[in-house]
Structure 1
Amino acid sequence: MTNTALRHEAPAEAVSESRQTRKRPKTASYRRQGGAAHIFLLPWLLGLVLITAVPLLASLYLAFTDYSLLTEPEFVGLENFRQMLDDERFWAAVGVTLRYVLVSVPVQLGFALLLAVILDKGIKGLPFYRSAFYLPSLLGSSVAVAILWRQLFGHEGLINQALALFGVEGSSWLQNPDTALSTLVVLNVWTFGSPMIIFLAGLRQIPADLYEAARVDGAGPVRQFTMITAPLLTPIIFFNLILQTIGAFQAFTQAHIISGGTGGPLDSTLFYTLYLYQQGFVNFSMGYASAMAWVLLVAIGLVTAGHFLLSKYWVFYGDN
């Protein structure tokens, strides 16, 4: 019995020792890989903490203070938020921003989807057109393009010169409160390249067999779009809608350059972010500006959450 037990115990001990010897180098290798990963992630982590997290927390504290950049912050509680309720320019900025978002985002996405459908037909020189149409998205928020836009829509600009060829006398689009915001909407629609590329990638994923079956059943182009393309593309539409909505709420450069930083004429281009900039860096009301920034953050979060809640009624995924 004893010899038999020893013969059975010896292989078990050998197996356990062999398992330990196999685990040791694997664990050491994982530790080395983990250390290398942390080293490569260190610059990003430092940037996240020092450039994003610390200023974010600092602005949250300043939102409850009276701070002018020149004096020590003085805690005032909810006074900055109560001040917004009586600030007429604050509500004017909210109205301008909401009109800009509600008009420019749907028009931009609709135009981008239309061009994506056209390009998806396989026209010649597709890589060139994709690059050419994407270029405005890279330049649309730049200062140079905003200056160019101001020259185009000025009283002596190219738009009025083109209208004069047809006998139409145009006014200064940027100095008219009724048309100033429309020029910024057109500028945002012009930067359709980014959502167009995403739409085009989504269109390429739709199986061609579905269109062939629809044509056999007698479905025309319009019915194919409404019954096949649009439903299968709803996840891409939803993705673009979220990105472009957030970007529209944060629009700043165009309005600042075109209006000279005033939001004029008559506050018709006073975006929320532009008024926030005026309060923080022109009036030196950094506490009030910080409170405005957090209101904007909460508003964007609520709008995004609303999009996600409503998406279950119109966004269709592959498993639906």
Structure 2
Amino acid sequence: MATLTNAPALRRKARRERLRTLGFLSPWLVGFTVFFGYPLIATVYFSFMHYNQIEAPTFVGLRNWRYVLEQMPLFGPALWNTLWLVVVMVALRVIFGLGIGLLVTRIKSGVGFFRTAFYLPYLAPPVAATVAFVFLLNPGTGPVNDILGSIGIHAPNWFNDPAWAKPSLVLLSLWGIGDLMVIFMAALLDVPREQYEAAELDGAGAFHKFRYVTWPSITPIVMFAVVTGVVQTMQYYTQALVAGKLASGVSIGPGSVIQPGYPDHSTLTVPQLVYSLGFQNFNTGAACVLSLVLFAIAMAVTTLLMRKRAGLLSAED
């Protein structure tokens, strides 16, 4: 009987707990709905519409999807360039960032200077850093080619050569490696010193200490760097657009239409194609299809990496 009497009070208490929890979650729920949920639903909706941002949208079924996947000539090169950058740029950034982190943590004196020197390029705005890099690698007036030529090395055309344009963007990303360096330094300094001492007593060398002590401890950080790097590189836009435009020699002014991908569409990425379709050609439906394709690929790759991360962590446990 006492339990039945207290039942309404317990229900009111549970309801208050749910409302309190919902109140704490409300900022995230509002942000998720406004900045992710609604844009995603609107993108799916407009992918089946003909919409030029002036007239009312009209339903066209799968016409936008067929156009993007079967008829658009630049979709293949843009997707290839984006995936190439994801594989090469993310892998080299992780390897290079980890290497710099290992180097700085082992320096006996001047640690603050080297840490600051490697981190400062990351603070440069993307446009300014790209402008400086294009100037340095300019095949006609850049100092890099002059230095290479003075020591007898035939320098490439960098951003003006389709074969070297994407590697030049990778070099630009490695120049601003300071963010990953700091993350890896924090992970490396967090490895217990007792494990290194125990490995030394067992006769382990530098390689075996890294393989069996350092690497298992920093694996979650490496996976974090890979996942965030993939997501960021799938959205790669500013540096490729600015580098291609500056290398082409075409002036950028009010009212000028920027055609991305110079030279020969070698720096064209899917985000650039989305912008070109949606805001230069006013083909919102095709731009939404490209956005959804990019979103699906990013989600698939991220899910695969997260499952791999879970497998690695369970294996370590």
TM-score bracket, normalised by the shorter chain, equals 0.7 to 0.9
* Alignment partner, residue 17 of structure 1: none
3-state SS in 2 of match to 1:237: helix
**Structure 2 Cα separation of the partners of residues 129 and 41 of structure 1:** 42
TM-superposed deviation, 1:271: 0.9
* Alignment partner, residue 54 of structure 1: 38
Task: Kindly indicate whether the alpha-carbon contact (under 8 Å) linking 1:232 and 1:317 is maintained by their aligned counterparts in 2.
Answer: no
**Structure 2 vs 1, CA of residues 318 and 203 (structure 1 numbering), >3 Å: closer, same or farther?**
farther
Gaps of at least 5 residues in structure 1 are: 1-19, 21-26
* Alignment partner, residue 54 of structure 2: 70
Task: Kindly indicate whether the alpha-carbon contact (under 8 Å) linking 1:235 and 1:317 is maintained by their aligned counterparts in 2.
Answer: no
Task: Kindly indicate whether the alpha-carbon contact (under 8 Å) linking 1:120 and 1:204 is maintained by their aligned counterparts in 2.
Answer: yes
3-state SS in 2 of match to 1:77: coil
**Structure 2 Cα separation of the partners of residues 167 and 122 of structure 1:** 33
Corresponding residue to 2:264 among 266, 279, 283: 266
**Structure 1 Cα separation of the partners of residues 308 and 28 of structure 2:** 34
- Compute the TM-score of the two structures, normalised by the length of structure 1: 0.81
Please tell me the residue identity of whatever aligns with 1:63: S
Once the two structures are superposed, the pairs formed by residues 227-238 of structure 1 within 5 Å of their partners are 227-238=212-223
Corresponding residue to 1:100 among 70, 85, 104: 85
TM-superposed deviation, 1:46: 5.5
**Structure 2 Cα separation of the partners of residues 221 and 60 of structure 1:** 53
Task: Kindly indicate whether the alpha-carbon contact (under 8 Å) linking 2:89 and 2:170 is maintained by their aligned counterparts in 1.
Answer: yes
Please tell me the residue identity of whatever aligns with 2:277: Q
Once the two structures are superposed, the pairs formed by residues 220-231 of structure 1 within 5 Å of their partners are 220-231=205-216
TM-superposed deviation, 1:50: 4.0
The CA deviation string for residues 205-263 of structure 1, in whole angstroms up to 9 with x for no partner, is: 21111111111121111111112111221111111110111111111001110112420
| Aligned residues with identical type, % of pairs | 32
Please tell me the residue identity of whatever aligns with 2:131: I
The CA deviation string for residues 148-180 of structure 1, in whole angstroms up to 9 with x for no partner, is: 122122121121122132134534311111101
TM-superposed deviation, 1:47: 5.1
* Alignment partner, residue 150 of structure 1: 134
**Structure 2 vs 1, CA of residues 47 and 209 (structure 1 numbering), >3 Å: closer, same or farther?**
closer
The CA deviation string for residues 1-23 of structure 1, in whole angstroms up to 9 with x for no partner, is: xxxxxxxxxxxxxxxxxxx9xxx
**Structure 2 Cα separation of the partners of residues 119 and 42 of structure 1:** 43
Once the two structures are superposed, the pairs formed by residues 159-238 of structure 1 within 5 Å of their partners are 159-238=144-223
Task: Kindly indicate whether the alpha-carbon contact (under 8 Å) linking 1:108 and 1:190 is maintained by their aligned counterparts in 2.
Answer: no
* Alignment partner, residue 251 of structure 2: none
TM-superposed deviation, 1:300: 0.4
Gaps of at least 5 residues in structure 2 are: 1-8, 246-257
- Compute the TM-score of the two structures, normalised by the length of structure 2: 0.82
3-state SS in 1 of match to 2:74: helix
**Structure 2 vs 1, CA of residues 125 and 107 (structure 1 numbering), >3 Å: closer, same or farther?**
same
3-state SS in 1 of match to 2:163: coil
1:298 equivalenced with 2:296 (yes/no): yes
* Alignment partner, residue 252 of structure 1: 237
3-state SS in 2 of match to 1:219: coil
**Structure 2 Cα separation of the partners of residues 284 and 149 of structure 1:** 32
Greater displacement, 51-60 / 100-109:
51-60
TM-superposed deviation, 1:312: 4.3
Please tell me the residue identity of whatever aligns with 2:84: R
1:316 equivalenced with 2:313 (yes/no): yes
**Structure 2 vs 1, CA of residues 85 and 310 (structure 1 numbering), >3 Å: closer, same or farther?**
farther
**Structure 2 vs 1, CA of residues 239 and 47 (structure 1 numbering), >3 Å: closer, same or farther?**
closer
**Structure 2 Cα separation of the partners of residues 219 and 48 of structure 1:** 49
* Alignment partner, residue 286 of structure 2: 288
**Structure 2 Cα separation of the partners of residues 133 and 56 of structure 1:** 38
Corresponding residue to 1:242 among 224, 227, 238: 227
**Structure 2 vs 1, CA of residues 47 and 312 (structure 1 numbering), >3 Å: closer, same or farther?**
closer
Please tell me the residue identity of whatever aligns with 1:79: R
The CA deviation string for residues 105-138 of structure 1, in whole angstroms up to 9 with x for no partner, is: 1111001111111222253343443343233333
The number of residues matched between the two structures is 291
TM-superposed deviation, 1:195: 1.8
TM-superposed deviation, 1:48: 4.7
Task: Kindly indicate whether the alpha-carbon contact (under 8 Å) linking 1:139 and 1:145 is maintained by their aligned counterparts in 2.
Answer: yes
**Structure 2 Cα separation of the partners of residues 219 and 194 of structure 1:** 31
Task: Kindly indicate whether the alpha-carbon contact (under 8 Å) linking 1:64 and 1:76 is maintained by their aligned counterparts in 2.
Answer: yes
3-state SS in 2 of match to 1:259: helix
